[in-house]
Amino acid sequence: MNFRAFSKLIVATSSAILIGACSGGAIDSVADGDDTSADEALKANVKPGVFRLYSKPHVTPDPACDLYTNLELKAGTYSTATLDDTVGRGGLGMRCEIAVAPNERTYRLKLASTKCGTRVYTGSRTRGGKHSEITITDNRAHVVSWTACKDVPKAKIVVEETQNGTTTTKYSHDFVGASCGNSTCGEGLVCCTTTMSRSACIPKGAMCAI
């Protein structure tokens, strides 16, 4: 083989390797990042808050093993939603043997729509080549009327999230404590009022004797 033929062979082989590498990379790799732009996340102006999410609305948390998803909405430089799965351990004398991987994830949010005071935010991201999406319906300022806004939301916050091709819907736990005299009873407490018009918050199921 003369020098000119050998040179052509080297060039052809190098070109084939380069084309194969480029085409393979385009097919096999997906760039990590957020689909929501910085400008969209800046304009979303989400109302901050921290919520516990459950698979059903109006649930009563299990005092022994409280399995839920924690949601924190932030409006810093960008509007974001950070979620992680957790389990609240039982109190004294209670055992919880469930272990949960936190799977913490953060989405940049953009405002998708507003209606009847409800604001809907969306976001999507790719990490490690895996794509996930989220839709957050914020009903905290929802207005009910008998004309255009007749629906009553199931929860203040409703989150629909798709991970690894599986979509789940979760609802915020919206506890409203009972009014008791000049205070409001916390979760797990009820108001006890005696014939002497004395009021106090006591554990649910306890004898009212104050």
pLDDT tens column, 18-75: 444 444 443 334 579 999 999 999 999 999 999 999 999 988 888 778 899 999 999 9
| Domain carrying residue 200 | 177-210
SS3 55: coil
113-139 mean pLDDT: 96
Q: Enter the DSSP assignment of 146.
A: S
- 206 CB contacts (<8 Å, ≥6 apart)? 192
Residues 194 and 138 in one domain: no
Q: Cα 155 from chain centroid?
A: 14
Residues 117 and 155 in one domain: yes
Tell me whether residue 45 is in a domain.
yes
pTM beyond 0.85: the answer is no
Which band of pLDDT confidence, cut at 50, 70 and 90, is reported for residue 130?
Answer: very high
Tell me whether residue 23 is in a domain.
no
Query: Dihedral of CA 90/74/126/121: which sign?
Result: positive
Which band of pLDDT confidence, cut at 50, 70 and 90, is reported for residue 10?
Answer: very low
Instruction: Please state the domain count of the chain.
Output: 2
Residues 83 and 185 in one domain: no
Residues 43 and 108 in one domain: yes
Phi and psi at residue 9, in whole multiples of 5°? Answer: -65, -40
Residue 88 CB-half CA count within 13 A? 13
Residues 150 and 183 in one domain: no
pLDDT at 93 over 70: no
Tell me which residue of 176, 181, 209, 203 sits closest to 190, measured CA to CA. Answer: 203
Residues 132 and 48 in one domain: yes
Tell me whether residue 22 is in a domain.
no
Residues 74 and 121 in one domain: yes
Residues 133 and 67 in one domain: yes
Tell me whether residue 15 is in a domain.
no
pLDDT at 106 over 70: yes
128-147 mean pLDDT: 92
Residues 70 and 165 in one domain: yes
Tell me whether residue 132 is in a domain.
yes
Tell me whether residue 201 is in a domain.
yes
Residues 75 and 161 in one domain: yes
- 110 CB contacts (<8 Å, ≥6 apart)? 36, 37, 40, 41, 43, 44, 79, 121, 122, 123
Residues 95 and 183 in one domain: no
Residues 49 and 107 in one domain: yes
Looking at residue 21, its pLDDT comes to 41
145-163 mean pLDDT: 91
